[in-house]
Structure 1
Amino acid sequence: MLQFPLVVTTQVDLVLVLVSLLALWTRLSHLSYPNAVVFDEVYYGQFVSLYMKRVFFIDESGPPLGHTILALGAYLGGFDGNFVWNRIGAEYPSSLSVWSLRFLPALCGALCVPLVYLLTLELKFSHLSALGASALLLLDNSLIVQSRFMLLESLLIFFVLLAFFSYLRFHNSSHSCFRYCWLLLSGASCAAAVGVKYMGVFSYLLLVGVASLHTWRLIGDRAVSHLSVCVQCVCRIVCLLVVPVLLYVFWFYVHLTLLDRSGPHDQLMSPAFQASLEGGLSRITLGQPLEVAYGSQVTLRSSVSQPMPCWLHSHKANYPIRYENGRGSSHQQQVTCYPFKDVNNWWIIKDPDRQELVVGSPPRPVRHGDVIQLVHGMTSRFLNSHDVAAPMSPHSQEVSGYIDFNVSMAAQNLWRVNIPHREAESESWKTILSEVWLVHVNTSAVLKLSGVSLPDWGFRQLEVVGEKLFKAHSSSLGWTVEEHRYGTSQEQKEREAELHSPTHIDVERKISFWAKFLELQWKMLTVKQEDSEHKYSSSPLEWVTMETNIAYWLHASTNAQIHLIGNPVSWGVAILSLLSYQLLAAIYLVRRRRGFKDIPDSVWAQYCVCGVCVCWGLGSEFCSLPVDGEDSLPVSLLAGSLLPASAKPRPAGACTHSPAQQSDTPPCAVRVRVDCADVRLLVLLDLLPFDLRHTGAIGQSAASTQVEGLLGHPVPLPLDRHTPQCMKRGV
């Protein structure tokens, strides 16, 4: 029965309120200054504009969640995408809300400070220690700079910190009925971190590793019932494995649902993907005949997008009789791969047993295993191959358009259609949907794009060769029918006029979300741009010693500048703690080897755990370079966490340390390598084999979380391959 009056009591941590207000003030005050494009806003702003116009794009630097969050802020501010992000320093128009563009990254950067305060308390440190840890982040000038602009680093740091804080709250709330809400939040935060940048994968793996050890300890606890162990294991698997995967897929579902219009990056995707976008290839291919038949007129696109998308092509020019190195050729008509739409890309599918070059009634579809001939639409030459070395790849066979020179070289123009991913042995060849191999009947060589450019006599087009099956690599063998019509003209003149006319429309085809998701994943991991050295390049050691910095912005008239530079206090403490830890570790190892135990075994175990976690952080950041595909090499020293270990090892010892990041400001849109030592926050997670629920167990041991970020941002794929590089990303 209720009793009156009702009394509600609460506790307010004034220190937490204070650091939160200071963090909001340092990150959000005067957020619109400068009213100009700063550093990589020129890069991410292009993607925000594409989001506003619902235009499809690929960012090779990582998944789309970070761009979606930036676009959300722009949308809330009324941004319509009509701004040209062509150079750093360009003034924003008065109609554009700069504050809304930068608000969400700044808010996430501000929330990192109270998160570190709470996380330190979850590690069982004192409030004074928590204040010191949050102060390091609050006053770190590099973090303040990064948080105040439209960049992704503050988003990544926020989600990583939230993931580890949530997990620690779950781990410490063993008797709370809401503890699994914290575990669910931890899994969702991990998915968000990975969704912002692939660097988040390494923090996620660290958290999963720690959770696995905790679960293993739980399984060995005889005081816990079998049913409780099973339920807890299932909950951890669902929250930390299933939920992150589902959310990661969901980020892409939102991305692909919003971006349904054709854009500058379409050419990197398969014809089926392109045809699913509004206003691009779909305008040409929508409703084309589905099944390729004898007499069909087709264009064949290579399944390989490197070095660039291209189509099987021929023209009225022959291979030279002698190459520059003295080797001879067949002097047959050149067959190449051409990276532009052209009437010379059209080929006719011919039945070897018939002379007709038109589609019969009813059409006879081409099926897996059928032998065909390919006739070039404009020159009527048959696609041919023979035992003659290719011009640029002498280990492969030459592919040509056959010319009868009345010599002993007979025509070898039969090709077998192989559909490797068929669902049935008699599956028909389908427009856009089928990837086929064309196998030369006489030599068993497979038609392949070598990727090498021909010399001037080949008009710098890409070489096409015949590769033996046992040498061939499957990823470079596929060809897809992109444009398709049923041929109706038997005469050459009428056929040429037909090839110049647009394709007709019959039926519609769509690609599933899962097919688009998997293809986009593959392209993001494989589409890379070349690195180039630059006078602003730097090494990790230069950042450790703070001998370099990055200019983010420069005012043209007043010379006001914004720089990214390390904090001497926090960075110096990190370096000192790393050196001290190594020295003490060597001394303790030697003395323990001699039988002298200066510290208890439990403390020594904690000391070793600290080093293992730091090594994991260092190794993961080095390994992240080829995985994430960024230009800079962020090297987490993670050394701040070693300060208590190097000073005085103890079971509950850990230390937080503020991060700083870097990136490059190239004077043009060339890709620049800036190797930056990226000092990061590390808080050691409990890895000791002690059950905290047992009487006599040690207090909460140190825990470790690594806040990671990337700073060298690649230039987005060009809107036009002829666009000067300086117009894509400038200073």
Structure 2
Amino acid sequence: MLSALLRQEVKVTEKRTEQARQPEGGGRLYAVVWWLSLVSLVIVTSLLRYYQIGDPPAVTWDEYHFLRFSQHYLNGTYFQDVHPPLGKMIIGGIGYLAGQNRTQLVNVKHVYQYPYDQWYIFMRMGVATFGILQVITSFLTVWEISRSLSAAFMTAVLIVCDPAAHALNRLVILDPILLWFILLSTFCGVKFASQRHNPFGLRWWLWMTATGVALGLTMAVKYVGAFVVALIGVQAVYDLWEQYCDLTASLWNLVKHVLARCVGLILVPLLLYLATFALHLQILDKGSTMPGIGLGSAQFRLSFPDNVIGQRTPPVVMYGAQVTILSTVPAIGYLTTSYDLYPPEFTAEHQILSFDMNMDELNAWAFKHADDEDIVDLRSPDYVPEPVMHGDLVRLLNVFTERHLQTHRLPAAITKHMYMACGYGEIGEFPEGGVWRVLVDDPSAEPGVTPLSAIHPGFRLISNRTGCALRPGISKYPEWGYHAWEAACDPKGLNLNDPSQVFQIDENVNPRIPAENLKERFQLSTIQRIIEMHRVMFASNQRLTFYEFEGEEGIQKHLSSRPWMWPVLYRGCPGHASDMHSLYFVGSPQVYFLNLAVLGLLPVLAVSYAYRRARQTTQTEPSRLVEGVVFLATGWALHYLPFWAMGRILYFHHYLPAFFFSTMITGLLTDAAIGRLEGFLRPGLRGFVRPTVVAAFTAFYVNSFITNWALAFGLVTVDDEAHPETIKDHFYFDSWLL
């Protein structure tokens, strides 16, 4: 059946293509209809995307993050995120053009006031433009595969009429930008494949380079772009395999194809990807005291031009000096304590010890001898500097809370298999659990000879009482610990192969010791800074998992969903907004269930097609339509199936890239079915079938969009007891939760 469908579609599209190339008559009319169709889609999509785009008039869902990031770019202050920088730089550029407020901090409760905050409308419009480009690119991709206007038009109609694709493209978030770059990469890959019979020609080189550029841009927005990179990689491997199997071509021809793809599909996107990080660091040159600076290393902090502390830092840590202790594990932060106490069920009245990514006064510690009652007075005229040595027994006192770093043989609050670490004991008290041995992380270090240095090398703290090693725990505290990373003590003791036990001294404040410019010794190069940014990003992404306690993470559990739920619309995602406007991000059942039916039919069609090909006496190459469907089906699988193996928090919008691929497949096969239907009719009636079906198809989905209007645009909350309408009134299934 599939082969018959496809043969009919090939005949119809070949005839249509031939007519489109004719200068007069039907070909010219077809070209006019083609352009009218595309232009009308662009106009309708633009009107819908921009319509009432100021609603909700408040920070909605993840807009909080990206509006703040945009302000960072406008002010030149560094920040660290779990995603690459290009998408956020684009949003920052939109904010610059829109005149975004640089000083008023964005928060989740901020309500925009028009006309004073009209910049947010322009920013949403700028991001919504990428949603319009998605429709255009999907249309062109399907056209390039099938040369069928009806297939391209129906695909675009499905995308325009889906409320999830619509709503998420109206917010200042990364996903509209990412989706367009994914679709652009797909389109360029299809265009490049169409040049396979003219290798090394100008168009061949141009489309391969364009594909590489699109891949680099996609990866520079979000790492979900790796899936479309894999798709183009599969396509490249298939093309190279065909070259290898071509016995009429020389080995040198295969080598040329491999080298060309290494340049166009590997080197070009890699250089473009790295260039976005270099530009990111060039724009954000104010970062030595920014929030979250503790996510990176002390060397990374030294690399910022505004870091003046690194220019006047004593190189050796002395007793009594005020220091900050930074974990060398990416995305953990500074050792800190708090005036708040652990809940009674965990321990006695001990202060919470944690790791904080921000720099503040609670991060300040001072070394003192284990038997000293007070810390060394740096202001005393009798002050004699004494360095902290490798192997010394010390106590660590928090300068502001005046509590010692302490450990007990009690289970840690979160990491139960480790000992608790806390703040305990005032100045003058000598708790046994507060004595630590300093071990410089250098194989050549000698006790009493090698001093503890600032920045590098690192050091370890081993409890003299229990032998446990101070380190970060495995998770964060709940709300009572302000979601800071837990500090614990590993009862297994010193482990030279465990980098989580290593710390470094970042700030070393001692006005009585001559300072040096440590920036000249430890400042990182641009490529080293980019490498460290990746370490932090990868570590942060690995920790986007569920936690076992309530609070903000409990909200994340409520909003999240699993991959099996997405194609069947078992659950969407509520959008955080103001009390005056409610949103629920979910797809249209009319669109998704058609896509699901086509996806379910694909294996049957594939088996049927393989069977009929096997029975043919002469084997022919698969048609362009078959190759296109296989290509898009591979894209759907690569953008959907990997999520099943992920343990991180997932939301409904993670399915949108796969949704676009499945929708393009639906457009292609629906059009092929129309072509098959035409084959059953008399020649005089065939010309009416396609326009009639496409018109009915369009009318049905326009009506479905109007029916799902509240899902696409949200619902204004009306305080009317007589007519209490809520977003739940527009839900299709009980499983759609708020």
CA distance in structure 1 between the aligned counterparts of 2:636 and 2:297, rounded to whole angstroms = 42
Are residue 193 (structure 1) and residue 218 (structure 2) matched? yes
Deviation per CA, 1:235-266, whole angstroms, max 9, x where unpaired?
20122222222222222222222223343333
Structure 1 residue 158 corresponds to structure 2 residue 176: no
What's the secondary structure of 2:470's corresponding residue?
strand
Q: 1: CA distance between counterparts of 2:233 and 2:241?
A: 12
Match of 1:268 in 2: 295
Counterpart of 1:484 (choices 485, 508, 528) is: 508
Cα distance, 1:18–1:562 mapped onto 2, change above 3 Å: farther
Query: Any idea what SS the aligned residue of 1:438 has?
Result: strand
Between the aligned partners of 1:565 and 1:395, the Cα distance in structure 2 is: 41
Q: How many angstroms apart in 1 are the aligned matches of 2:228 and 2:241?
A: 20
Query: For the Cα contact (< 8 Å) 2:128–2:170, is it kept in 1?
Result: yes
Question: CA separation in 2, counterparts of 1:643 and 1:624?
Answer: 30
TM-score where L is the length of structure 2: 0.66
Q: What amino acid is the match of 1:619?
A: L
Q: CA deviation at 1:624?
A: 5.6
Look up the match of 2:491. 467
Of residues 173, 177, 189 in structure 2, which corresponds to 1:167?
189
Aligned to 1:25: 43
Residues 1:130 and 1:454: Cα distance change in structure 2 (over 3 Å): closer
Q: State the match for 2:102 in structure 1.
A: 81
The 1-side partners of 2:188 and 2:595 are apart by 26
Give the alignment partner of residue 419 of structure 1, picking from 441, 444, 453.
441
C-alpha change, 1:609 and 1:53, in structure 2 (3 Å) is: closer
1:558-573 equivalent positions in 2, closer than 5 A: 566-567=587-588, 569-573=590-594
Q: Which residue type is aligned with residue 230 of structure 1?
A: V
Shift of 1:95: 6.1
| 2:142/2:668 contact within 8 Å kept | no
Counterpart residue number, 2:275: 250
Q: Distance in 2 between matches of 1:92 and 1:229?
A: 62
The structure that is helix-richer by fraction is 2
SS at match of 2:43: helix
Deviation digits for residues 438-485 of structure 1, max 9, x if unmatched?
3468986433344787999xxx99654353347788243122213313
C-alpha distance after superposition, 1:498-530 (max 9, x if no partner): xxxxx9965352343323433443454245473
Amino acid at match of 1:518: H
* Equivalent of 2:205 in 174, 180, 189: 180
Query: Match for 1:436: what amino acid?
Result: F
Q: Secondary structure at the match of 2:100?
A: coil
In the alignment, which residue of structure 2 is the partner of 1:436? 459
Distance 1:366 1:406 in 2: 21
What's the offset of the Cα at 1:20? 4.0
- Amino acid in structure 2 at the alignment position of 1:232: H
Whether 1:530 and 2:518 are equivalent positions in the alignment is: no
Kindly tell me: are residues 616 and 539 of structure 1, through their superposed partners in 2, closer, same or farther at Cα, counting changes over 3 Å?
closer
Deviations 1:484-507 (A, max 9, x none): 13485xxxxxxxxxxxxxx99653
Q: How many residues end up aligned between the 2 structures?
A: 624
Give a deviation string over 1:418-452, Cα, whole Å, max 9, x none. 32699999986432344322346898643334478
Partner amino acid, structure 1, of 2:284: L
Pairing of 1:352-391 with structure 2 (within 5 A)? 371=392, 373-374=394-395, 376=397
1:300 to partner: Cα distance: 2.6
What SS does the aligned partner of 1:199 have?
helix
Match for 2:133 among 101, 111, 123? 111
Letter in 2 for 1:481: I
The offset of 1:130, in angstroms, is 3.1
Name the CA shift for 1:203/1:250 in 2 (closer, same or farther; >3 Å).
same
Q: Which moved more, 1:81-90 or 1:424-433?
A: 424-433
Please name the residue that 1:35 is paired with: 54
Taking structure 1 as reference, are residues 180 and 396 closer, same or farther at Cα in structure 2, changes over 3 Å only?
A: same
Change over 3 Å in CA distance of 1:203–1:142 after alignment to 2: same
Correspondent of 1:289 among 305, 314, 317: 314
Q: CA deviation at 1:375?
A: 6.0
> How far 1:619 sits from its partner (Å)?
0.7
Cα distance between partner residues in 1 of 2:87 and 2:183 = 16
2:250 aligns with one of 218, 221, 225: 225
SS of residue paired to 1:208: helix
Aligned twin of 1:512 = 525
Letter in 2 for 1:485: V
- CA distance in 1 between counterparts of 2:603 and 2:156 reads 26
Change (3 A) 1:418 1:375: same
State the shift of 1:70 in Å.
1.3
Mapped to 1, the partners of 2:53 and 2:427 lie a distance apart of 70
SS of 2:504's partner is strand
Corresponding letter in the other structure for 1:575: L
Q: Cα–Cα, structure 1 residues 257 and 504, in superposed 2: closer, same or farther, change >3 Å?
A: farther
Following superposition, the deviation at residue 381 of structure 1 comes to: 10
**Structure 1 residue 611 displacement after superposition:** 6.3
Following the alignment from structure 2 to structure 1, what is the Cα–Cα distance between the partners of residues 257 and 367?
Answer: 63
Task: State whether residues 317 and 454 of structure 2, in contact with CA within 8 Å, keep that contact through their aligned partners in structure 1.
Answer: yes
Match of 1:346 in 2: 365
**Corresponding position of 1:677:** none
2:66 paired with 1:44: yes
Give secondary structure in 1 for the equivalent of 2:315.
coil
SS at match of 2:223: coil
Preserved contact between residue 439 and residue 447 of structure 1 (Cα < 8 Å) = yes
| Residue 92 to residue 288, structure 1, CA distance change in 2 (3 Å) | farther
Does the CA-based 8 Å contact 2:111-2:578 persist in structure 1?
yes
Provide the residue aligned with 1:55 in structure 2: 77
1:578 and 1:118 mapped to 2: Cα distance?
Answer: 21
Q: TM-score, normalised by structure 1?
A: 0.66
Alpha-carbon deviations, 1:123-142, whole Å to 9, x = none? Answer: 24334433433444355454
Task: Name the aligned partner's letter for residue 240 of structure 1.
Answer: L
Distance 1:110 1:51, change over 3 A: same
User: How far apart, CA to CA, are the structure 2 residues paired with 1:252 and 1:18?
Assistant: 41
The code of the aligned residue for 2:469 comes to V
Q: Which residue of 2 aligns with 1:147?
A: 169
Residues 390-436 of structure 1: CA distance to partner in whole angstroms, max 9, x if unpaired? 676786568798999999x9999572523269999998643234432
The alpha carbon displacement at 1:608 in A equals 8.1
Given that 1:313 and 1:344 are in contact with CA atoms closer than 8 Å, whether structure 2 keeps it comes out as yes
2:187 maps to a residue whose letter is: F
Distance 2:669 2:34 in 1: 26
One-letter identity of the residue aligned with 1:202: F
Sort the Cα spacing of 1:596 and 1:646 in 2 relative to 1 into closer, same or farther, 3 A: farther
**By how many angstroms is 1:75 displaced?**
1.0
How far is 1:649 from its partner? 10
2:93 is equivalent to residue 68 of structure 1: no
Q: Which runs of 5+ in 1 are unaligned?
A: 1-8, 489-502, 668-711, 713-730
Secondary structure of the corresponding residue to residue 218 of structure 2: helix
Secondary structure of the residue aligned to 2:78 is: coil
Change (3 A) 1:478 1:21: same
- Structure 2 gap ranges (5+): 1-22, 545-551, 677-697, 717-736
Instruction: Spell out the pairing of 1:311-710 with structure 2 (5 A cutoff).
Output: 311=335, 336-337=353-354, 341-342=360-361, 345-348=364-367, 371=392, 373-374=394-395, 376=397, 415-419=437-441, 429-439=452-462, 445-450=468-473, 464-465=488-489, 467-469=491-493, 474-486=498-510, 506-509=516-519, 510-513=523-526, 514-515=528-529, 516-528=532-544, 530-532=553-555, 544=567, 566-567=587-588, 569-581=590-602, 614-623=636-645, 626=648, 634=655, 636=658, 639-640=662-663, 641=665
